Amino acid sequence: MKPDTTPRICHISTVHPDNDVRILYRECSGLAEAGYKICLIIPSDSKRQINNVEILPLPHIKNRLFRMMILPWLACWKALRFSPSLCHYHDPELMPMGFVLRWVFQKKVVYDIHEAVHRQIMSKAWIPRSMRSFAATLYRLTERVLTVGQVLIVANEKSVDDYQRRVYRVQNYPCFAASGQSTVAMEKIENSKPLLVYVGGVSEIRGSFVYLDLAADLAAAGLNFEMALIGQYDASIGNQMRTRIDENHLHDKVRILGRLAFPEAMAYVRRADIGLCLLLPVPNYKFCLATKILEYMMFRVPVLASDFDVWRKYVTGEDAGRMVDPCDRTAVFEACRAMLEDTSMLKRMGENGNRAIRKKYNWDNEFQVLLRCYEDILGGKKSISK
pLDDT value, residue 177? 52
329-340 helix and 208-220 helix, angle to the nearest 10 degrees: 60
**Straight-line distance from the first to the last Cα atom of the chain, in angstroms, rounded to the nearest whole number:** 31
Give me the phi and psi of 197, to 5 degrees please: -130, 135
With cut-offs at 50, 70 and 90, classify the pLDDT of residue 383. very low
How far is Cα 201 from Cα 185, in angstroms, rounded to an integer? 24
Region 239-261: what's the mean pLDDT? 94
Parallel/antiparallel/unpaired status of strands 48-50 and 53-58: antiparallel
pLDDT in tens, 74-106: 999 999 999 999 999 999 999 999 999 999 999
Domain boundaries, the chain: 8-173+362-378, 195-359
**Percent of the residues in the chain that have a pLDDT greater than 70, as a whole number:** 92
How far is Cα 116 from Cα 126, in angstroms, rounded to an integer? 18
DSSP for residue 41? E
Strands of 274-277's sheet in order across: 254-258, 226-230, 195-199, 274-277, 303-306, 321-324
CATH topology of domain 8-173+362-378: Rossmann fold (3.40.50)
Query: Is the model's pLDDT at 186 over the cut of 70?
Result: no
Would the CATH topology of 8-173+362-378 be identical to that of 195-359? yes
Half-sphere exposure of 49 (CA within 13 A, CB side): 6
pLDDT in tens, 164-181: 677 999 998 987 654 334
132-146 helix and 95-103 helix, angle to the nearest 10 degrees: 20
Stretch (H or E) spanning 266: helix 262-271
How far is Cα 376 from Cα 229, in angstroms, rounded to an integer? 42
Stretch (H or E) spanning 364: helix 363-378
The CATH homologous superfamily to which domain 195-359 belongs is Glycogen Phosphorylase B; (3.40.50.2000)
Whether pTM exceeds 0.75: yes
Query: Is the model's pLDDT at 2 over the cut of 80?
Result: no
pLDDT in tens, 124-139: 767 788 888 888 889 8
